[in-house]
Amino acid sequence: MRILVVCQHYWPEPYRLPDICEELARRGHTVKVITDVPNYPMGVTYPGYEKGKQREQPRNGVSIHRCFTIPRKRGAIFRFLNYYSYAISSTLWAKCTDEEYDVVFTNQTSPVMMSCAAIAYGRKHRKKVVMYVQDLWPACLQAGGIKKGSLIDRIFHWISGRIYRSADQLLISSKGFQSYLEKEHRVHSDRIVYMPQYAEDLFTQKLETVEHQDVNLVFAGNVGVAQNVDTILMAAEALKEEQRIKWHIVGDGVDLERCKEMAKTKGLNCIIFHGRKPLEEMPYYYAMADAMLLTLVDDPDISRTLPGKVQTYMAAGKPILCAANGEVQDVIHEANCGYAVKAGDWQGMAESVKRFLEQRDSVPFGENARKYYESHFAKGRMIDKLEHELEAACGDLATV
């Protein structure tokens, strides 16, 4: 197949999509990615990409084209400009290009407008569009503080609905997404297929042992409003007399500086902020962890989400201590790989930590996590399913 991939975020930004694209290329498909000028998550253009540099890049069998993008910097205005600069420039590329592809695959995180170029190309060239939905819109805006029913919410609800309904097939990373898409955006159920995320190979390989004396609890990933890292900080405050417990925040995002200031104000020297690390370095932080942390805001739509870090935590064979509602809780309970309390329940998270320390030698949480990953989220199964859906969208045009 000749596959056109549309996504605002791609390597060297910290996303899983490059792994998918490179695996499709290894399987013999032609893959081209239309993406942004890298600036996520800190909103500053990465070194080496300034002033039009490296707009065309080959990497591991994948061709990358980078469209004009205004860095997101800080604040709502620049984020808006970032969203629409990519959406407009990529859509113009899609409408002007004469390049021929068999199918369009759009990896939809935030914002949903990143998929506009995929829709435009599909319409012009009469090709089907397969959208992988990993964030729900405008639910993500509501989780970030936009009031449901407000003018901004209504505008983006209309925009989101048009985009979701324009795709020929929607792949959803969380089962709970289906009811939202059906109810909020009138997407018919026969166009929705469940396809969970998987972990990159470096997390499924045996982790090197990292010797340590303390109890290391590790949160890895984006530090934003939806992640509700406050829950971790408050649980740490409740247990700060337990000096052997160290809380590690490995990641970056719009809420990081506020969390750092909160930890400083509370005198939480037990919390260590490592900042964002390259994907290749992340196995070290997983290896040092006695358990991994996962928190989300108390929001009914965010509760439908199964974050990709669940799969990486499980693939690494690590226990999970969680404060989140919905599908995350269901998976952790079903796998018996840790403890889950309600979103925002910092007291419950503190109790979970104490229970874990008491029982970690008697319950094989890590082994349970890895077994569940292998039976539900393995990479090969997911890529096979994606390849099948793309070939089905191609119909008789699929060629390898």
Q: What is the mean pLDDT of each run of 10 residues along the chain (400 residues)?
A: 97 92 97 96 90 95 97 87 96 96 96 97 97 93 82 94 97 95 96 94 84 92 92 96 94 92 95 92 94 94 90 96 95 96 97 93 92 94 95 67
What pLDDT, on the 0 to 100 scale, is given for residue 145?
A: 77
Domains 2-198+378-397 and 201-376 share a fold: yes
Judge contact between 337 and 319, C-beta under 8 A.
Answer: yes
Where does residue 296 fall: left (phi above 0), alpha (psi -120 to 50 degrees), or beta otherwise? beta
Report the candidate in 87, 133, 117 with the shortest Cα–Cα distance to residue 301: 133
pLDDT, position 131 = 98
Per-domain boundaries in the chain? 2-198+378-397, 201-376
Q: Which residues contact 175 (CB under 8 A, 6 or more apart)?
A: 194, 306, 327
**Which of 119, 103, 104, 105 minimizes the C-alpha distance to 160?**
119
Q: Compute CA distances 225 → 150, 254, 348, whole Å.
A: 19, 8, 20
**pTM of the shown model:** 0.87
pLDDT of residue 397: 46
Collapsing DSSP states into helix, strand and coil, what is residue 11? coil
Name the one residue in this structure whose structure tokens are 């995929």: 118
Task: Tell the residue number behind the tokens 């939905």, with chain if given.
Answer: 133
- Return the structure tokens found at 15: 């996303």
Q: What is the CATH number of domain 2-198+378-397?
A: 3.40.50.2000
What single string gives the DSSP state of each residue in 60-95? TTEEEEE-------SSHHHHHHHHHHHHHHHHHHHH
Residue 258 to residue 223: CA distance in whole angstroms: 10
Number of H helices, E strands in the chain: 15, 14
DSSP letter for each residue of 316-358: TT--EEEE--THHHHHHHHHT-EEEE-TT-HHHHHHHHHHHHH
**Residue matched to tokens 């982790």:** 207
Q: Which of the following CATH numbers is that of domain 201-376: 3.30.70.890, 3.40.50.2300, 3.40.50.2000, 3.40.50.360?
A: 3.40.50.2000
Within 13 Å and on the Cβ side, how many CA atoms surround 113? 20
Of the candidates 330, 320, 322, 311, the one whose C-alpha atom is nearest the C-alpha of residue 372 is: 311
* DSSP symbols for 208-275: PP---SSEEEEEES--STTT-THHHHHHHHHTTT-TTEEEEEE---TTHHHHHHHHHHTT-TTEEE--
Residue type, 303: S
Structure tokens at 43: 């909103």
